[in-house]
C-alpha cells in the first residue's frame, strides 16, 4: 500500500510490520519534500512517525479520540487522515493548517497551538465519554517539553485521582521542545532513559536468553514479558513519580521500534484507569542533518534537501527585530549585572540566545511555563534585579493573571518584551499576536510602548530597563526597515511622549509601532490626491501623549488611528476614549484588525485580506473624505 492510498487511518489495521515500515519511509519522504519546498515544522513530525503508525493501528479512529499537544509533531497524523493530496498547501493561504484544527478534519479532535493542553482536553473528553455511557478510547500525545508546563502537571494530578477513568497518555520523550528542555522533570526523564540497568537489560538480556539450550528464538513473547519485569525490578525508580500520581506506567520504550510500540499500546488499552506510556524518540529521525541540529531544524523556511541549507536571499535584509533586541539587551547587561533575561523555552526565537551565550549567569529559561516566568520576575524585581521577560505576544496571554496580581498590583519594575506582536503569518490564529495592547492597556500601573523601527527599539529597551514600574514593549516578527543602529549610547525616551514626523492640515494620522511607516506611506498617497496629513508616531499606547494628540485632533478636525492589533480595546480605542474624556467631538476612524480570527497565510496576504496595506488604507480614508467633505476652520 502506498501512502497516497491511505484516506482513513483505519486502513492501517492488519498491516504487517514490513508494510508499516514502508509507509513510515513514505511519510518521512513526503514530510521532508513538503517542508523543503514551502517551510514548516520539520524535526518534531519526523520523530513521531513510528509512534503515530503504531498508535493508529491499535485504535478505531471512527470512535476513538486522540489529542496532540501543540501540534508541531502532527504532520504524520495529517498525512494519515486524508490530507495527503493537499499536503503541498501546508501553512499556505486556504491550505492545510500547520496546527490541529477541528474545522479542518474530523480526526483533529482538539485544536492546538500552545503547549501543555492535551492531557486536560483528553481528560475532559474521557469524562464526557463516561457520563454518556460510551466506551471508546481517549489518548493524549504530549512531548516532554510540554510536560514542563504547569497545566500538564495539573491535568496529570487530576487524572491520577480518577482510577476508573480510562485515559492513555503517550509521553513522546525526545529531550527537546523547540530548544533543549530545562528543569527537574526533563532531567528525571533523562535519568530514566539513560539508566545503566535499563540500558544493560535492553541491550543484553535478549542475547543471553537466546544462548540458553532449547530456547533460541522460540520464547519471544515470554522474553518480552521477562524483560519488562526485570526492568522494573532493576530500576524501581523508573516511572515512580507517575505511579505515585495514580498512573500505570509503561516504558521507557523505543519510539522507532514498531513492534514494541504496537505491543505496548495494545497492553495499555487493556488497563483500567490512567496509563502513561513513555516513548523515547529522536527528533528529526531519518534526516541526519535534522538529527544533528535539533534546535535549528525544529522548523525551517524552504531549504535544499541535499545540503539542509536555506535558499540564498536575493539581497541582504536588515536585521530582524529579535536579533536587534538580543544584541542590545546583551550590551546593556554587560554593564548592568542586575539585568536578568527570562524566556519560556524560546531562547532562539526571542534573541535571548545571544544573552545566554555571552552572559549565562544573567539568563534564565523556565521551560514552557509563562505563568511561572512572570511571577519569578516579580520575585527578582522585589530584590532589586531588573528582570526582562521576553515572551511572544500569543504566549504572554497565558500569564495574564500573574501580570495583574504579581506585577502590576505591586507596581514592580518588570520589563515585558513582547516579540511577534501583530500578524505573524503561517502559524495561524493560535499564534497571531494581536491582543496584547488590549489585554495590557486595562491594567493599572502598566506602561505600553512600541517602536516605529529597529533603531527606536534600541532606545525603548533602555527606557524599559530604566523605568521603575511595570512596562511592556511590543515589536513585530521579521526584519526591520534598515534604520541606522547604534552600538552604544542609547538614550531613554520620555515616558508617554510621541513625535510628529509629518505635517499637514487635512487629516491627523496617529500610528502605533509597526504601523508608523505604513502611516507615512498612506500620507504620501493622500498627498497625491490633494490631502495633506499630519503623522504622529505615538510611541506609547499608555500613557498617551494627550498634550500632543488632542490639540492637533481638535485643530485638524479628522483623526485616523492605525495599529497592528485588535480594534476592540486597542490603541484606537485609547484615542477614542481620550477624545471623549476631553469632550472633543471630531470624526474618528480606527484602522486595525477587526473582531475576527486571522487564519494562516503570509503576513502580506493577511494584511491584504484585512485592508491593511497602505494603498487600501489610503483608499478607505479617501472614501471617507468623499462621504464627509471637510471644511477646515469652520
pLDDT, one tens digit per residue, over 579-607 is 999 999 999 999 999 999 999 999 999 99
Mean pLDDT of 74-88: 91
Mean pLDDT of 530-551: 98
Which H helix or E strand runs over 535? strand 533-537
Model confidence at 41, pLDDT cuts 50, 70, 90, reads confident
Cα separation, 283 vs 297, in Å, equals 9
For residue 581, what are the contacts with CB-CB under 8 A and spacing of at least 6? none
Cα separation, 202 vs 208, in Å, equals 11
pLDDT at 83 over 60: yes
Active site residue 502: no
Correct CATH for 321-474 of 3.40.50.2300, 3.40.50.970, 3.40.50.300, 1.20.1600.10: 3.40.50.970
DSSP state of 58: T
End-to-end CA distance of the chain: give it in Å, rounded.
78
pLDDT at 227 over 80: no
Can you give the pLDDT at residue 197? 46
Q: What are phi and psi of 39, to 5 degrees?
A: 90, 160
Mean pLDDT of 89-93: 89
The grid coordinates listed for 533 are: 496629513
Cα separation, 373 vs 367, in Å, equals 9
Cα separation, 317 vs 310, in Å, equals 15
Mean pLDDT of 135-153: 91
Sheet holding 559-566: strands in order across? 499-502, 533-537, 507-511, 559-566, 588-593
Residue-wise pLDDT tens digits, 370-385: 999 999 999 999 999 9
Q: What are phi and psi of 123, to 5 degrees?
A: -65, -40
Can you give the pLDDT at residue 53? 96
Q: Is 242 left (phi over 0), alpha (psi -120 to 50) or beta?
A: alpha
- Tell me the Cα Rg of the chain: 27
Model confidence at 195, pLDDT cuts 50, 70, 90, reads low
Nearest C-alpha neighbor of 53 from the set 96, 10, 92, 91: 10
Mean pLDDT of 19-28: 94
Q: What are phi and psi of 539, to 5 degrees?
A: 65, -45
Contact 514, 467 (CB under 8 A): no
Nearest C-alpha neighbor of 480 from the set 451, 453, 461, 458: 453
DSSP state of 271: S
The grid coordinates listed for 302 are: 524552504
Which H helix or E strand runs over 261? helix 258-270
The grid coordinates listed for 346 are: 524560546
The CATH 3.40.50.970 domain(s) of the chain lie at 42-72+99-195+235-295, 321-474
The grid coordinates listed for 519 are: 502611516
Strands (E), 281-411: 299-300, 339-343, 363-365, 386-392
Residue-wise pLDDT tens digits, 251-284: 899 999 999 999 999 999 999 999 999 999 988 8
Residue 631 or residue 187, greater confidence: 187
pLDDT at 250 over 80: yes
Mean pLDDT of 33-47: 83
Cα separation, 121 vs 601, in Å, equals 27
Active site residue 283: yes
The grid coordinates listed for 215 are: 530456547
Mean pLDDT of 536-560: 98
Active site residue 398: yes
Residue-wise pLDDT tens digits, 157-175: 999 999 999 999 999 988 7
The grid coordinates listed for 506 are: 487635512
For residue 334, what are the contacts with CB-CB under 8 A and spacing of at least 6? 358, 359
Mean pLDDT of 17-36: 92
Lowest mean pLDDT among 287-296, 305-314, 351-360, 623-632: 623-632
Correct CATH for 500-627 of 3.40.50.300, 3.40.50.920, 3.40.1360.10, 3.40.50.620: 3.40.50.920
Can you give the pLDDT at residue 308? 80
For residue 615, what are the contacts with CB-CB under 8 A and spacing of at least 6? 525
Neighbours of 129 (CB within 10 A): 20
C-alpha distances out from residue 173 to 12, 185, 459, 511, Å: 24, 11, 42, 46
The grid coordinates listed for 503 are: 505635517
Sheet holding 274-280: strands in order across? 65-68, 138-143, 167-173, 274-280, 248-254
Residue 540 or residue 317, greater confidence: 540
Angle between helices 454-466 and 321-334 (to 10 degrees): 40
The grid coordinates listed for 201 are: 537489560
Q: Which of 50, 175, 370, 456 is catalytic?
A: 370
Residue 227 or residue 309, greater confidence: 309
Query: With b meaning 16 or more CB within 10 Å and e meaning fewer, what string describes 143-162?
Result: bbbbbbbebbbebbebbbeb
| DSSP H helical ranges for 411-543 | 436-441, 454-466, 516-528
Average pLDDT across the chain, whole number:
89
Lowest mean pLDDT among 186-190, 320-324, 596-600: 186-190
The grid coordinates listed for 248 are: 500505570
Mean pLDDT of 337-350: 95
DSSP codes of every residue in 233-253? HH-TTTTHHHHHTTPEEEEEE
The grid coordinates listed for 121 are: 482536553
Q: Which of 65, 78, 137, 283 is catalytic?
A: 283
The grid coordinates listed for 394 are: 500569543
Residue-wise pLDDT tens digits, 412-468: 999 999 999 999 988 889 899 999 999 999 999 999 999 999 999 999 999 999 999
Mean pLDDT of 218-229: 54
pLDDT at 230 over 80: no
Cα separation, 619 vs 41, in Å, equals 38
Cα separation, 324 vs 455, in Å, equals 9
pLDDT at 38 over 60: yes
Can you give the pLDDT at residue 225? 56
Residue 234 or residue 254, greater confidence: 254
Model confidence at 185, pLDDT cuts 50, 70, 90, reads low
Residue-wise pLDDT tens digits, 100-132: 989 999 999 999 888 899 999 999 999 999 999
The CATH 3.40.50.920 domain(s) of the chain lie at 500-627
The grid coordinates listed for 435 are: 491582543
Contact 585, 76 (CB under 8 A): no
Nearest C-alpha neighbor of 473 from the set 462, 484, 483, 486: 462
Domain 42-72+99-195+235-295 in CATH 3.40.50.970? The answer is yes
Which H helix or E strand runs over 573? helix 571-581
Amino acid at each position: 500500500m502506498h501512502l497516497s492510498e491511505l484516506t482513513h487511518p483505519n486502513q492501517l489495521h492488519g498491516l504487517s510490520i514490513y508494510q508499516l515500515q514502508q509507509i513510515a519511509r513514505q511519510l518521512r519522504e513526503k514530510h521532508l519534500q513538503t517542508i523543503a519546498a514551502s517551510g514548516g515544522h520539520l524535526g518534531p513530525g519526523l520523530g513521531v512517525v513510528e509512534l503515530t503508525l503504531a498508535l493508529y493501528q491499535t485504535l478505531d479512529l471512527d470512535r476513538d479520540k486522540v489529542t496532540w499537544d501543540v501540534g508541531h509533531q502532527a504532520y504524520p497524523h495529517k498525512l494519515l487522515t486524508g490530507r495527503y493530496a493537499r499536503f503541498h498547501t501546508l501553512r499556505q493561504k486556504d491550505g492545510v493548517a500547520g496546527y490541529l484544527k477541528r474545522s479542518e478534519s474530523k480526526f483533529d479532535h482538539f485544536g492546538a497551538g500552545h503547549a501543555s493542553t492535551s492531557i486536560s482536553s483528553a481528560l475532559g473528553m474521557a469524562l464526557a465519554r463516561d457520563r454518556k455511557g460510551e466506551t471508546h478510547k481517549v489518548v493524549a500525545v504530549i512531548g516532554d517539553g510540554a510536560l514542563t508546563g504547569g497545566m500538564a502537571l495539573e491535568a496529570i494530578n487530576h487524572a491520577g485521582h480518577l482510577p476508573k477513568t480510562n485515559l492513555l497518555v503517550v509521553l513522546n520523550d525526545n529531550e527537546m521542545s523547540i530548544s533543549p528542555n530545562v528543569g527537574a522533570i526533563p532531567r528525571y526523564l533523562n535519568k530514566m532513559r539513560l539508566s545503566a540497568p535499563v540500558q544493560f537489560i535492553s541491550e543484553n538480556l535478549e542475547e543471553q536468553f537466546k544462548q540458553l539450550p532449547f530456547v533460541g528464538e522460540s520464547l519471544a513473547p515470554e522474553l518480552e514479558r521477562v524483560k519488562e519485569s526485570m526492568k522494573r525490578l532493576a530500576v524501581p525508580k523508573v516511572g515512580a513519580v507517575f505511579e505515585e500520581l495514580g498512573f500505570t506506567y509503561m516504558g521507557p520504550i523505543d519510539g522507532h521500534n514498531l513492534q514494541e510500540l504496537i505491543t505496548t499500546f495494545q497492553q495499555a488499552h487493556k488497563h483500567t484507569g490512567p496509563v502513561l506510556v513513555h516513548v523515547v524518540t529522536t527528533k528529526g529521525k531519518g534526516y541526519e542533518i535534522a538529527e544533528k541540529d535539533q534546535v535549528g531544524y525544529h522548523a525551517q523556511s524552504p531549504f535544499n534537501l541535499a545540503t539542509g541549507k536555506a535558499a540564498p536571499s536575493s539581497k541582504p535584509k536588515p536585521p530582524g527585530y529579535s536579533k536587534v533586541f538580543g544584541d542590545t539587551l546583551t550590551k546593556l547587561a554587560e554593564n548592568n549585572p542586575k539585568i536578568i533575561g527570562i524566556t519560556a523555552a524560546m531562547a532562539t526565537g526571542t534573541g535571548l540566545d545571544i544573552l545566554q551565550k555571552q552572559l549565562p549567569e544573567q539568563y534564565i529559561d523556565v521551560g514552557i511555563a509563562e505563568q511561572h516566568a512572570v511571577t519569578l520576575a516579580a520575585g527578582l524585581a522585589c530584590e532589586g534585579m531588573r528582570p526582562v521577560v521576553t515572551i511572544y505576544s500569543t504566549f504572554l496571554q497565558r500569564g495574564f493573571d500573574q501580570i495583574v496580581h504579581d506585577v502590576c498590583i505591586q507596581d514592580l519594575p518588570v520589563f515585558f518584551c513582547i516579540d511577534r506582536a501583530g500578524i505573524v503569518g503561517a502559524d495561524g490564529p493560535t499564534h497571531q499576536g494581536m491582543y496584547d495592547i488590549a489585554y495590557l492597556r486595562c491594567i493599572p500601573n502598566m506602561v505600553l510602548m512600541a517602536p516605529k523601527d529597529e533603531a527606536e527599539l534600541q532606545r525603548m529597551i533602555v527606557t524599559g530597563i530604566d523605568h521603575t514600574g511595570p512596562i511592556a514593549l511590543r515589536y513585530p516578527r521579521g526584519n526591520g526597515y534598515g534604520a541606522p543602529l547604534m552600538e552604544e549610547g542609547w538614550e531613554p525616551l520620555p515616558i508617554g511622549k510621541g513625535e510628529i514626523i509629518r505635517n499637514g492640515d487635512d487629516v491627523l494620522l496617529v500610528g502605533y509601532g509597526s504601523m508608523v511607516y505604513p502611516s507615512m506611506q498612506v500620507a504620501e498617497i493622500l498627498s497625491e490626491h490633494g490631502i495633506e496629513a499630519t503623522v504622529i508616531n505615538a510611541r506609547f499606547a499608555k500613557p498617551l501623549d494627550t498634550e500632543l494628540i488632542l490639540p492637533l485632533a481638535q485643530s485638524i478636525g479628522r483623526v485616523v488611528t492605525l495599529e497592528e492589533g485588535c480594534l476592540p480595546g486597542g490603541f484606537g480605542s485609547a484615542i477614542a476614549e481620550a477624545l471623549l474624556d476631553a469632550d472633543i467631538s471630531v470624526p474618528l476612524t480606527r484602522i486595525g484588525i477587526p473582531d475576527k480570527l486571522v487564519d494562516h497565510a503570509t503576513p502580506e496576504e493577511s494584511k491584504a485580506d484585512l485592508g491593511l496595506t497602505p494603498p487600501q488604507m489610503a483608499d478607505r480614508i479617501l472614501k471617507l473624505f468623499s462621504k464627509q467633505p471637510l471644511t477646515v476652520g469652520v
